[in-house]
Structure 1
Amino acid sequence: MLRVIKASQQRKISLATLLTGLVSLSVLLTLTILLIASYQSSKKSLIDTTLTLNLTNASKMSQTIDSLFKSMRSSLYKSATFYSNMSSMTEDEIYSNLELIRYSSNYFNSIALVDETGLVRSMSPKSIGSAGKYITTEESKTALALQQPYLSKPYIAATTGRLLVFMSEPIYDMNGTYRGYISGTIYLQEENILNMIFRSNPTDEIGSHFYIVENEGRLLFHQDTNRIGEDISANQVVRKLIQGQSGHEQTVSLKGEALLAGYVKVPANGWGVVVASPIDVVNDQLEQHIGAVLLYMMLPFLMLLLVVIGFARKLAKPFVTLADLVSKIGRDKVEIPEIKQHWNREADLLTKSIRYAISDIKKQTDQLTHEAMTDPLTGLTNRRTLEIIMHQWMEEQTPFSIIIMDIDRFKSINDTYGHQAGDEVLKHFAQIITSTVRPGDVCCRFGGEEFIALISHAAIDEAFLVAERIRHTLEKNIHPIGQPITVSQGIAHYPSHSASAEELIHMADQALYKAKQSGRNQTHIAKFR
């Protein structure tokens, strides 16, 4: 019998061993969860940041190209005006001016002057040898026949064998008679204005690359000059550019490489700019991040593990309670517990510290939530909150009216009195809106000098009266700048006008536009469709 009892005792795990094992396992699991959470959070953050950065870079490059082509078009237009009387100019005068245009602007690799018969009157530089000959390419003939501004697709010139695009501007004499065109050419695979501007591109520093495509998907600019002219219209991002879309997304290149791409359409010429980063860049950064987290966390966790194991027996109960509380943070809504006195001094202090920490986190979270939902200047709700409330009311089938308000000639207030005075005007107008609507209504700064009020359970005529009170109050009130300020307003109603939040805002905005067109300082109601 004694042997059986001893054998049974040997099979039992001691309380100290059990507590030590459980605490050790808890610490290791906590470390693992933190690492997994950190990995997932960092991965999403890095992907979003990379996509946003690539879109921003693509937008900047698109704006640069847009401005460049407007300047190039303006340069050709001025030159066309100058050559309106080319019939009275000598060949030397024509050529000298072409040389001056090419070297002064540095926009084009070559410039040609073609008369209405298709004869190349002059060409800069002369070495091309086209002067005195008739045009032969389809693109040149198209430009001549159109008699209007023209931008060609990429093609190979018959005389030089170069891959190029050209843009032309028609020439009309003083009587309005068509006299030909002046054209500027960009050599795509040689030194040109595009690679002069984008040669030292900052995206290279983070492993990204970029390229420019024309409106049918052919490469116009690429770091690998051998690919220029290649048709990549099968690329998913390029297809969207061809359709006129801009944005950012994860995609796969034609070579099967996973990429994070931002892409933007160029308004001036229909081209597209793509900035892309390999997904491997994000993975490398993640590995570095996790390695740093492990490096910084390993020693504190090991020390914590040793301390917890040493005090496992005496601190079991309070630490289990605290572990349960801490494990809920970030997953469930945590109620801050009342402070209870523990017989153990360290457990008592730790309980109080965690309570204060949770309370502080809750305050910071509440503050961040408030800031995320509020416009910092006026104190009104922001656009994101407005959209959330609109969708909530629509889900609840709550009828409401929307009033869009735009301060008239606000830009002139900023230009005349400065942005600080403009901010005071915005805050003043916000106070007028909030004092006019009911407590349950929603006031929002939609953007810039544009405000929105959501009037719940209000028909169109009731919303119109509210809008008019706001307008009259603003017009008659004492203003920060000492000058009269007026507002134009547009009204739409849910569900009478639309059951879509986006469409409802659009219709109210159209009514606002009508108010602006009709002389400002008035309120218009959206038309029913």
Structure 2
Amino acid sequence: MKTRQLRLKHLIMGLAMAAFFLTSIGSIWSGYRMNVDSIKENSLETNRVYAQKLATTASAYLEEAFQILGYSADHVETIIDDEAALDLETDRLKMQNNMFNSVIVTNADGLVLSVSPPSVDVKGKYLTSSGAQEALAKKKPLVSKPYEGITGRLIIFISYPIFSAKNEYLGMVAGTIYLKEKNVFNLLLGEHYYHDGSYVFVVDEDGRIIYHQDTSRINDVVIKNKAVQDVVAGKNGAKLVTNTMGVEMLAGYSAVPLAGWGVVSQRPLEVALEPSFDRVKDVAIKAIPIMLVSIIILLWTAARIARPLQQLATLTEESLDSRNVEGLKSVRSWYFEAYYLKSALIRSLSFLQGQVSYFKDQSTTDPLTGVTNRRTMDAMLAEWHKNHLMHSIILLDLDHFKSVNDTYGHAVGDKVLQFLAKNMQAVARENDICCRYGGEEFIILLPNTTVEEALIVAENLRQRLANTNSPCGRPVTLSAGVAEYPLMAKTTEALIEAADGALYVAKQAGRNQVKIAREHIIADM
């Protein structure tokens, strides 16, 4: 009988310990998976927004290039027979804003009439390369595919036709970009803001790399990359892909329709998830003392539970031997002891539920700035739209934030973002919600608020930032766009687009200002 008593005691302890550890592991694993999913979503959205911004920049560059070349073509038509004037014009184009590595003017047969800089020894020669021949044949503004020019360089050719007043084709004026040398892409696109294996690259319509931070990758064909396949098809988005090196990447991508290009921003999955591993490790280390105390209490409680059970078994045997059935009435105390077992497990589960709540809180908050993250913001806006709740939003963007990172480093840049978030929370009203939209873009949600009232909040924040030194040692400024639902937009997407349009107007108007989105009028404070 004694052996059976020991087995019962061990069984109770074993079951209690197994329940504690299995529940602990399950809860921590569940919290970890939630955190991983949140990080993936945030990284994908960040890369998508980043790629979209770079694609917009590239599109703006191409539009400006065509405008500049078109203006020059109109002028060259009047001086095409004046060699000295042509040389002055090509020099002006080359030196104007460093958009091109070289500039040429040809006649209708492809004979180079003028070139800048003169060190590009093609003057007086006929252009026979595929890009030049395509431009001469099509006689329209054109961005060529990458090709090797007569100088042996890997080139992209941006050309504009020259027509006489009688609409006779006289030739073309063209700018070239040397893909494997320092070019305008380095200025426009730069490097990825995370220096952790993340990178940005641009592909043409064939999936051939025309810009990469690693120049040795230029001209590689990467069409096997799923993100590249989507972007050359004109799609925008984000997804988990495996790059041509076999590395899993969180990729955002955006098309440049004007040239058939695509911009892809990638971050290694392993690098993105490192904070999640560290967070779980930190929680586990901090929980060890509490777990040890809990285990000690659990073992002590199990021993206390086993002792009445042993007494009950003894009493039962003695009662049977002595025919003393009245002694079994004491079994009623059994339920009282069972209650303590249940209480011990509840206490343990309460501790573990606290850990789950911690991980859930992490999944709704931006880890850098502490404001609401993009996923939670989207859910809240969807709920407001479903309930037809009138509200306004403020979409804001730090002016020249890239220069802060470039000048002071990304650590200071992160502190500037945290500084902005604190000031947002300081000017926000009780029911307003501050959110990080992506990168240096933030949104303030203002329920039951007109656009005029939202403008006051935005202007207070703008003035507060402009008059306060930031962590980089000087004030930073912001530009903002304000829009109201349903006055200015009938959907959440249209509302954000309206605010984004107003933000764009604020940027174009000189930055450090707030603009209101309106159907026909753009007003400011």
TM-score over 0.5 for the pair: yes
Of 258, 278, 300, the match for 1:268: 258
Aligned equivalent of 2:160: 169
* Distance of aligned partners of 1:381 and 1:373 in 2 relative to their CA distance in 1, 3 Å threshold: farther
Q: 1:193 to 1:445 in 2, by over 3 A?
A: closer
**Structure 2 residue 118 is matched with structure 1 residue 126:** yes
Is the 1:378–1:445 contact (alpha carbons within 8 Å) kept by the matching residues of 2?
A: no
Q: CA deviation at 1:283?
A: 4.7
The Cα of 1:164 is off from its aligned counterpart by 0.6
**Aligned with 1:36 (options 29, 36, 42):** 29
SS in 1 for 2:86: helix
> Cα offset for 1:18?
4.9
Q: Which residue of the partner structure matches residue 390 of structure 1?
A: none
Matched, 1:242 2:224: no
In structure 2, the residue matched to 1:197 is: 188
Aligned partner letter, 1:152: S
Q: Report if the CA contact (8 A) 2:107-2:170 is conserved.
A: yes
The whole-number CA distance in structure 2 between the counterparts of 1:52 and 1:95 is: 48
Is residue 129–residue 147 contact of structure 2 (8 Å, CA) maintained in 1? Answer: no
Distance 1:445 1:79, change over 3 A: closer
Greater CA drift, 117-126 or 280-289: 280-289
| Displacement of 1:179 | 1.6
Deviation at 1:42, TM superposition (A): 2.0
Pick closer, same or farther for the CA change 1:250–1:105 going to 2, 3 Å: same
Residue 169 (structure 2) aligns with: 178
C-alpha change, 1:380 and 1:207, in structure 2 (3 Å) is same
Q: Give the counterpart of 1:62 among 48, 55, 60.
A: 55
Q: 1:277 aligns with which of 251, 267, 285?
A: 267
Matched ranges for 1:318-337 at <5 A: 318=340, 320=342, 323=345
Q: Who is 1:99 aligned against?
A: 91
Which one of the candidate residues 38, 62, 70 is aligned to 1:45? 38
Q: Please tell me whether residue 80 in structure 1 is matched to residue 89 in structure 2.
A: no
Change in Cα spacing, 1:109 to 1:242, as seen in structure 2 (3 Å) is same
| RMSD of equivalent CA atoms | 4.0
CA distance in 2, matches of 1:210, 1:324: 51
Instruction: Give the alignment's TM-score, normalised by structure 2.
Output: 0.61
Identity %: 27
Compared CA separation, residues 207 and 319, structure 1 to 2 (3 A):
farther
Relative to structure 1, the CA distance from residue 298 to residue 232 in structure 2 (aligned partners, 3 Å threshold; closer, same or farther) is same
The equivalent of 2:3 in structure 1 is 10
Give the distance between the partners of 2:492 and 2:381, measured in 1 at CA.
14
Task: Return the letter of the residue paired with 2:160.
Answer: E
Identify if the C-alpha distance between structure 1 residues 376 and 235 changes in structure 2 by more than 3 Å, giving closer, same or farther: closer
Hey, what's the Cα distance between the residues in 2 that align with 1:427 and 1:149? 42
Give the number of aligned pairs: 365
Matches within 5 A, 1:222-237: 222-237=212-227
Structure with more relative contact order (C-alpha pairs < 8 Å, separation 6 or more): 2
Distance change in 2, residues 1:63/1:449 (3 Å):
closer
- Asked if the contact 2:103/2:173 (under 8 Å) is kept, the reply is yes
Partner of 1:188: 179
How far residue 448 of structure 1 moved from its aligned partner, in angstroms, is 4.3
Deviations 1:48-79 (A, max 9, x none): 22222221221111111111111111111111
Contact 2:294/2:348 (<8 A) preserved: no
Equivalent residue in structure 1 for 2:286, among 296, 301, 314: 296
Return the offset for 1:329: 12
Classify 1:101/1:377 alpha carbon distance in 2 versus 1 (closer, same or farther; 3 Å).
farther
SS in 1 for 2:258: coil
Is structure 2 residue 101 aligned with structure 1 residue 109? yes
Give me the whole-angstrom Cα distance separating, in 2, the residues matched to 1:236 and 1:64. Answer: 23
8 Å CA contact retained: 1:378, 1:427: no
C-alpha distance in 1 between matches for 2:488 and 2:77: 55
1:375 equivalenced with 2:384 (yes/no): yes
- Give 5+ residue unaligned stretches, structure 1: 1-7, 332-352, 354-366, 383-412, 431-443, 451-486, 488-529
In the other structure, the counterpart of 1:407 is: none
| 37 and 266 in structure 1: CA distance in 2 versus 1, 3 angstrom threshold | same
